[in-house]
Amino acid sequence: MFVKPAIHTWPEIIQGTMFPNVPMVIGMDLTGCTLAMAFTDGSGTVVKSVTINITDAVNGSFTLQKFKVVLPPGNYKADLDITNADGDTYTYLQSTLPVKAQNG
């Protein structure tokens, strides 16, 4: 059912600006599933959890909700994990968010 996670690098974002709403469709039924995504720093510490709203479970549509980027400059890693109704968790997406200093 699940395959190797996709790899993605988000466009560079400037510290203090907004990470936008990101609508996504994965083409699988998300009924009964929960989705979770959190950005971690280089030590693996969670520095920002992302709110995810499932907008159409049957067709696999959801939105990563916008948030203000208050992270120090650097590269942050995040996995998008899907937990199905049976409690099995799969990583769907592995991503990197490069954050640039506000004045540089």
pLDDT tens digits for range 5-64? 889 999 999 999 999 999 999 988 999 999 999 999 999 999 999 999 999 999 999 999
**Whose CA is closest to 61, among 20, 95, 33, 91?**
33
d(CA 45, CA 48): 9
pLDDT reading at 3 higher than 80 = no
Structural domains of the chain ordered from first start? 6-100 (2.60.40.10)
Residues near 13 by beta carbon (within 8 Å), at least 6 away in sequence: 19, 69, 97, 98, 99, 100
According to the model, what pLDDT value does residue 103 have? 81
According to the model, what pLDDT value does residue 4 have? 78
Average pLDDT estimate for 58-85 = 95
Reported as type and span, the H/E element at residue 67 is strand 67-68
Average pLDDT estimate for 63-73 = 96
CB 89 within 8 A of CB 83: yes
Q: What is the pTM of this model?
A: 0.87
According to the model, what pLDDT value does residue 2 have? 56
pLDDT reading at 104 higher than 70 = no
